[in-house]
Chains A and B, each alone.
Chain A
Amino acid sequence: MSRLRRAGRAAAAGAAVLLLRRRRRPAPPEQAGGGVADAGGAPPPGGRVLPEGRPDPRAEAGTAVCLVLAGVAAVAFMVLYGVEPDTQALGVALGACLAFLAAAAILAGKRVVVQERHVEERPPMADPAAERRAARILEEGAGGISRRRLLGGACAFAGVATATALAAPLLSLGPGAPRRGRDARGRWGAGVRLVTEGGTPLRADDLVVGSFVTAFPEGAEKEDIASPVVVIRVRPEEIRPSAGREGWAPGGIMAFSQICTHAACAVTLFRYPLFREPGPAPALVCPCHYSVFDVLHDAEPVYGPAHRPLPQLPLAVARDGTLRATGPLSGDPGPSWLLTDT
């Protein structure tokens, strides 16, 4: 009962507001000039704040048409979503809906509603009096303290210590540094067989001159930065190994770490015997930043941003014809960091 009465009262109030608005409307006072000056917080009783709008029936009709078309496109989107959710059709339907809404809003904003060029005074920004006052409030709040340095020092100590303590658990996120030296060179070592991505042992006969294959240490995690090596074959007499690497390329077969020493991309381009640039010589090339490594000479970088050679894996052909490592990688694989061991 009381709810009904309250609703009735609200309705009466609403009607009164509407009536009052209607009655006030016919007599808007003229505003002088293009820019309307607001006078203080409240407009004069019965006066306007904004200039009176001028009706533009064509713009109103255009806005209405755009809104209806937007609704139609929205319905089309829902139908498509349910029946034939084709990406292009969905995009066109929803895009059209939004485009019509945009057109309606812009048209209404430019032609339907009140147009006004308004001049507003800027609020003052930097204010020396306020600065002095704020500084004084801050300072005077600590006015009666006698042992400032003691408290300041203690506060600094507690603050630094607490902040460090709160940050300390972040150390649980991981080890503090990449592996290096022997740890970084993965499972490679004397006697480890080279296997293909599918896990079959790689045989020397599988490789003709010009071959390029990715291989992994048998039984090891393939997704370790030390694991993938490129195995290539060139004519043995071409190779110019440095001292100590003479026996590393049986029959011209060589293996190098496949991870570029510049920025860790996979070295997947092998240019042999003919090659397109960049860079001279039959070479391994990283496609990310075109670092080029001279495979005939220890995979030394000869072009592009890489600074270190690709670590080499010394190879031998076992009695059964499979390829085996005869030692670890010649350096740390992957990109350089402070303690990279070369």
Chain B
Amino acid sequence: MIGALVRRLDRGTGSAGLLAKGLRYVFPDHWSFLFGEIALYAFVILVATGTYLAFFFDASMAHTVYQGSYEPLRGQRVTEAYRSVIDLSFDVRAGLLIRQVHHWAANVFLAAITIHLLRVFFTGAFRRPRTANYRIGLTLLGVALLEGYMGYSLIDDLLSGMGLAIGYSVALSIPFIGGTIGTLMWGGDFPGSGEWITRFYIGHVFLLPALIATLIAVHLALIARAHHTQFRGPGRTERNVVGSPMWPGYMLRSGGLFLAVAAVLVLLGGLAQINPVWQWGPYEIWRSTNGAQPDWYLGWLIGALRIMPNWELVIGGWHVVPNPFFGGVLFPAIVFGVLWMWPTAERLITGDRREHNLLDRPRDRPWRTALGAAMVSWVALMFLFGAADRLLVQMGISYEVQLIVARVLVFALPAVVFLVVKRACEELRRADPPEPAPAKPAPAQRSTL
């Protein structure tokens, strides 16, 4: 039966050889390799739920009076976009479930990419022959951030409106070209005439998802080309991959991971409320609330915007560098720039230009690990300070004190983390030295497939 099917496939497409190869493709087993898969599966769920949501969403800033079944909003002047999301949440069967699964999936998608990036960085998986693929992954993270921002902006609730206002200001702050970028995105001055929602919508449901899907496809193709990295261990060398073949065990287990991710997201979507936009209310440019927080993945930028002193580079009446540039553009550009350039920098510093398929234990590269940890602490501090308003509003912790502490820590913390982590790595390595470089693999272990 299976023989006949494969024969048919092969006679029709000539792909049995590829199939046999693919079924024997080896995945090294390590829990830390699963975050990339989780991100991929979250994306699949995002596309599926997002497509469903698009059937009900109305990307229009035309005004209407809400008449749906959510009592507190009845009679309020709202936009069609906001109205359609409220209707989707209250008057479409399973609508709220799918919407909340979509929102949770976005949060998990970005979290999984971020943790995957940390894994790749700290284990040295970005080195040759995977430098280009590492940068594709970084690009994916950037595009995914923008995609998430655009998604929650579309709803035109109070929170999304505040995010749009800040996004517009950050766009305007880019020296010289900011005005053009801002007005192109919004079709004029903020809040514009409603053209922005068409642009954001086509960006959110078509341009950026297509870009993300393409980048993912290239990312996976390049992984398959080089095969997976693996940690050092018995029988593992730079020239081989040891682990479970695709068929049947790995495919079932990875399929199980997909289903588990889906299960967790659906349970979250059903049981854990997220972004209840009917409580935020509709956005008008003269409304805002104290203690509003965006999705977690934008928290580091909010913190960076807040922590900046009120500098603005003004030369002869020209606002060359408006203030939001520092926190909203320069800070993420530094973080992404350092990550982007790191493989090159490491090659230059260490002089190691070889290909590496065996991963490092983080302790075996004290410099890299310490620098990475310092960077993580820097971003994490901004992230935490992004929540300073909530600490003030909910817990009464002095904002002024928080700001002073954060401004000191922004310099001190990375330095301290760097020194502590470097020392810890060196001690750990002394206690448990790395294995000597593996010998060449015995011919018997090699597979010619």
- Using a CB–CB distance below 8 Å, which chain A residues touch chain B? 13-14, 17-18, 21, 35, 37-41, 49, 81, 85, 87-92, 94-99, 101-106, 108-110, 113-123, 125-126, 170, 173-179, 184, 197, 214, 222-225, 228, 258-259, 262-269, 277-279, 286-291, 301, 304-308, 334-342
Interface residues of B toward A: which range? Answer: 35 or more
Task: Report B119-177 residues with CB < 8 Å from chain A CB.
Answer: 128-129, 162, 165-166, 168-170, 172-173, 175-176
A117 to B445, CA, bound (A): 11
Which residue from B195, B240, B256, B447 sits with its C-beta under 8 Å from A105?
A: B256
Q: Known interface pairs A81-B93, A263-B324, A277-B400. Does A338 touch B249 (Cβ–Cβ under 8 Å)?
A: no
Q: Are A95 and B26 closer than 8 Å at their CB atoms? A: no
- Using a CB–CB distance below 8 Å, which chain B residues touch chain A? 1, 3-4, 17, 20, 24-26, 93-94, 96-97, 100, 128-129, 162, 165-166, 168-170, 172-173, 175-176, 178-180, 182-184, 186-191, 195, 199, 225-227, 235, 238-245, 248-253, 255-260, 262-264, 266-271, 284-292, 302, 305-306, 308-312, 314, 317-320, 322-324, 327, 355, 357, 389, 392, 398-400, 403, 441, 444-449
Which chain B positions have C-beta within 8 A of A228? 285-286
**21 residue pairs bridging A and B, Cβ less than 8 Å apart:** A41-B17, A98-B263, A110-B253, A118-B242, A118-B244, A120-B24, A120-B26, A121-B441, A121-B446, A122-B240, A122-B357, A126-B128, A262-B310, A263-B166, A265-B288, A267-B288, A288-B165, A305-B327, A306-B323, A336-B172, A337-B182
Which chain A positions have C-beta within 8 A of B239? 121-122
Q: Are A99 and B270 closer than 8 Å at their CB atoms? A: no
A104 to B308, CA, bound (A): 52
Which of B128, B172, B308, B317 has the most chain A CB within a 10 Å cutoff? B172
Q: Are A101 and B286 closer than 8 Å at their CB atoms? A: no
Number of A-B residue pairs with CB-CB distance less than 8 Å in the complex they form: 326
Q: Are A177 and B180 closer than 8 Å at their CB atoms? A: yes
8 shortest A-B CB distances, which residue pairs? A91-B270, A109-B252, A105-B256, A106-B256, A102-B259, A95-B267, A335-B169, A98-B263
Which residue from B180, B245, B248, B250 sits with its C-beta under 8 Å from A176?
A: B180
- Name A124's closest neighbour in chain B (CB-CB): B239
Q: Are A334 and B227 closer than 8 Å at their CB atoms? A: no
Q: Are B183 and A175 closer than 8 Å at their CB atoms? A: yes
Q: Are A290 and B306 closer than 8 Å at their CB atoms? A: yes
Which chain A positions have C-beta within 8 A of B184? 170, 173-174, 176
Which chain B positions have C-beta within 8 A of A41? 17, 20, 449
Which chain A positions have C-beta within 8 A of B284? 222-223
Which chain B positions have C-beta within 8 A of A335? 168-169, 172-173, 322, 324
Which residue from B1, B241, B317 sits with its C-beta under 8 Å from A120?
A: B241
Q: Known interface pairs A94-B266, A109-B253. Does A38 touch B448 (Cβ–Cβ under 8 Å)?
A: yes
**Taking the nearest CB of chain B, how far is it from the CB of A175, in angstroms?**
5
A90 to B270, CA, bound (A): 7
The interface residues of chain A, by DSSP majority, are classed as loop
Q: Are A178 and B310 closer than 8 Å at their CB atoms? A: no
Q: Are A81 and B170 closer than 8 Å at their CB atoms? A: no
Q: Known interface pairs A41-B20, A102-B260. Does A119 touch B305 (Cβ–Cβ under 8 Å)?
A: no
Which chain B positions have C-beta within 8 A of A268? 286-290
Q: Are A105 and B263 closer than 8 Å at their CB atoms? A: no
Q: Are B446 and A119 closer than 8 Å at their CB atoms? A: yes
Q: Known interface pairs A178-B172, A287-B292, A305-B306. Does A336 touch B323 (Cβ–Cβ under 8 Å)?
A: yes
Given contacts A178-B182, A339-B318, 7 further A-B contacts (CB under 8 A): A14-B1, A97-B263, A119-B446, A223-B284, A262-B310, A288-B162, A288-B292
Which chain B positions have C-beta within 8 A of A13? 4
Q: Known interface pairs A265-B165, A290-B306. Does A121 touch B240 (Cβ–Cβ under 8 Å)?
A: yes
Q: Are A214 and B263 closer than 8 Å at their CB atoms? A: no
Which residue from A176, A266, A304 sits with its C-beta under 8 Å from B285?
A: A266
A89 to B269, CA, bound (A): 11
Q: Are A264 and B248 closer than 8 Å at their CB atoms? A: no
Q: Are A336 and B447 closer than 8 Å at their CB atoms? A: no
**Taking the nearest CB of chain A, how far is it from the CB of B449, in angstroms?**
4
Q: Are B399 and A277 closer than 8 Å at their CB atoms? A: yes
Which chain B positions have C-beta within 8 A of A87? 94, 96-97, 100, 270
- Name A34's closest neighbour in chain B (CB-CB): B235
Which residue from B4, B26, B190, B262 sits with its C-beta under 8 Å from A264?
A: B190
- Name A291's closest neighbour in chain B (CB-CB): B310
- Name B308's closest neighbour in chain A (CB-CB): A305
Q: Are A37 and B446 closer than 8 Å at their CB atoms? A: yes
Q: Are B165 and A338 closer than 8 Å at their CB atoms? A: no
**Taking the nearest CB of chain A, how far is it from the CB of B392, in angstroms?**
8
A214 to B284, CA, bound (A): 12
**Taking the nearest CB of chain B, how far is it from the CB of A38, in angstroms?**
4
Which chain A positions have C-beta within 8 A of B187? 173-174
Q: Are A105 and B253 closer than 8 Å at their CB atoms? A: yes
A44 to B293, CA, bound (A): 64
Q: Are A174 and B188 closer than 8 Å at their CB atoms? A: yes
Which chain A positions have C-beta within 8 A of B445? 35, 37, 119
Q: Are A307 and B286 closer than 8 Å at their CB atoms? A: no
Which chain A positions have C-beta within 8 A of B1? 14, 17-18, 21
A11 to B141, CA, bound (A): 52
Which chain A positions have C-beta within 8 A of B256? 101-106, 109
Q: Are A92 and B241 closer than 8 Å at their CB atoms? A: no
Which chain A positions have C-beta within 8 A of B195? 174
Which chain B positions have C-beta within 8 A of A337? 172-173, 178-179, 182, 319, 322
Which chain A positions have C-beta within 8 A of B308? 305
Q: Are B249 and A115 closer than 8 Å at their CB atoms? A: yes
A97 to B165, CA, bound (A): 42
- Name B442's closest neighbour in chain A (CB-CB): A119
**Taking the nearest CB of chain B, how far is it from the CB of A195, in angstroms?**
13
Which chain B positions have C-beta within 8 A of A290? 306, 389, 399
Q: Known interface pairs A117-B244, A176-B183. Does A126 touch B17 (Cβ–Cβ under 8 Å)?
A: no
A259 to B190, CA, bound (A): 11
- Name A287's closest neighbour in chain B (CB-CB): B290
Q: Are B183 and A119 closer than 8 Å at their CB atoms? A: no
Which chain B positions have C-beta within 8 A of A174? 183-184, 186-188, 195
